[in-house]
Structure 1
């Protein structure tokens, strides 16, 4: 599997778990110089994959927060605020209470 393929297909958790394994193997020692270099290079690839995922997650959070904080976004969300929902995901239950 090439680095480009890994970057396109590995999920964050997969890359993180494999990176943890690479670090453990490097710390344990007992590998040849060539094996250690290969592990180091693999670790660098995995770290890039993890960083890309984390950067993407940060960008998504930033975008969601920016959208939430846009002028007018609060008024729209507060207009449909807690009174419009009974808290269990169902329809509004306070309609008609005064009429009963």
Structure 2
């Protein structure tokens, strides 16, 4: 896992795809407790990154809705 890219540099799709791989690997059972913990921690970080992207997208959509409503009200 040490060669994995920094979570903060991942796009939503990259983080989501890696999270799916991590979950699959955890479900299959890692060979050691240390490996399982490392996978869990990576998965938590990836889930957090996905949530950041989704919250950012939600804010952008809301801002666009407000701008559209203001433009429509000004007509």
Q: Which whole-Å CA distance do the structure 1 matches of 2:25 and 2:10 have between them? A: 20
Would you say how many aligned residue pairs link Structure 1 and Structure 2? Answer: 71
* Residue equivalent to 1:49: 49
Structure showing greater radius of gyration is 1
Instruction: List structure 1 segments (4+ residues) > 2 angstroms apart after TM superposition.
Output: none
* Residue equivalent to 1:15: 15
* Residue equivalent to 1:94: none
Q: TM-score scaled to structure 1, two decimals?
A: 0.65
Q: CA deviation at 1:75?
A: 6.1
* Residue equivalent to 1:6: 7
Aligned residues of 2:30 and 2:36 also touching (Cα < 8 A): no
* Residue equivalent to 1:74: 72
Q: CA deviation at 1:30?
A: 4.1
* Gap runs ≥5 in structure 2: none
- Name the CA shift for 1:50/1:21 in 2 (closer, same or farther; >3 Å): same
Q: TM-score scaled to structure 2, two decimals?
A: 0.85
Matched residue SS, 1:69: helix
Q: Which whole-Å CA distance do the structure 2 matches of 1:75 and 1:61 have between them? A: 18
User: Higher relative CO (CA 8 A, sep ≥ 6), structure 1 or 2?
Assistant: 2
* Residue equivalent to 1:87: none
Q: CA deviation at 1:76?
A: 6.5
